[in-house]
């Protein structure tokens, strides 16, 4: 069966596709706001509706932080990618305060479970990196998941595809190593 794969930036025009993807039970309740909230205090008590409302507020502020992967015109994956400065909690927690200006972070790379294990994460990551290069982004960091993990823990993407695209370990971790790639 032929399939059409495309990737679009998260923009006001694609917000509805992002929300449809994140409403799917398998992509969870977080709406990719985990690194936007100021602390982890109470994170486990937040509801999907609270996270969706916070995401919609980010949209109203003009924060469109990623890329949507489509298969046959339906959204099936998302990569959260934005300037590191948008995520102070992540900067603090992962010790990234001395990163060069204009460093971007890939903090989420998730494919719907029904579409996994078909190379779509690799395709999405390569498209994101290609776009960042065209925008002269000098450096990107990521926290992909290391080794075999339950599906629900692979929301940052598998480390193997990051390695295959040139990322190197900056800070080791058994589960979520900090990896980096110089683009320019």
Mean pLDDT (whole number) for 8-33: 87
For residue 59, pLDDT over 70 is answered with yes
pTM reported for the whole predicted model: 0.92
Residue 152 confidence (pLDDT): 57
The CATH number of whichever domain residue 102 belongs to comes to 3.40.630.30
The per-residue pLDDT for range 28-54, each reduced to its tens digit, is 688 999 999 999 999 989 999 999 999
Could you report the per-residue pLDDT of 143-162, keeping only the tens digit for each?
998 876 655 556 788 899 99
pLDDT digits (tens, 9 = 90+) for 86-101: 999 999 999 899 888 8
Residues in the chain: 184
Helix (H) or strand (E) holding 108: strand 103-111
Structurally, the chain folds into a number of domains equal to: 1
% pLDDT > 70, the chain: 92
Give residue 151's pLDDT.
58
> What would the mean pLDDT of 104-126 be, rounded to a whole number?
91
- Quick one: pLDDT band at residue 139, thresholds 50, 70, 90? very high
Determine the pLDDT at residue 150: 58
pLDDT at 175: 81
Domain that holds residue 44: 5-182
Mean pLDDT of the chain: 90
Rounded CA-CA distance 30/22 in Å is: 8
Strands 5-9 and 74-83: unpaired
Phi/psi region, residue 117 (left: phi>0; alpha: psi -120 to 50; beta: rest), is left
Tokens 């370990």 -> residue: 169
pLDDT at 164: 96
């Amino acid at each position: 069966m032929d399939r059409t794969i495309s990737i679009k930036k998260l923009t006001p025009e694609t917000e509805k596709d992002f929300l449809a993807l994140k409403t799917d039970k398998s992509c969870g309740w977080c709406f990719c706001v985990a690194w936007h909230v100021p602390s982890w205090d109470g994170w486990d008590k937040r509801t999907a509706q609270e996270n969706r409302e916070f995401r919609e507020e980010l949209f109203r502020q003009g924060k469109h932080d990623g890329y949507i992967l489509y298969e046959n015109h339906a959204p099936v994956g998302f990569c959260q990618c934005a300037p590191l400065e948008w995520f102070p909690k992540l900067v603090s927690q992962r010790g990234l305060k001395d990163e060069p200006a204009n460093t971007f972070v890939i903090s989420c790379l998730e494919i719907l479970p029904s579409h996994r294990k078909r190379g779509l994460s690799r395709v999405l990551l390569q498209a994101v990196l290609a776009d960042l290069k065209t925008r002269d982004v000098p450096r990107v960091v990521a926290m992909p998941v290391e080794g075999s993990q339950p599906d629900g823990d692979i929301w940052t993407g598998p480390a193997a595809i990051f390695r295959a695209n040139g990322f190197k370990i900056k800070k080791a971790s058994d589960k979520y190593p900090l990896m980096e790639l110089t683009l320019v």
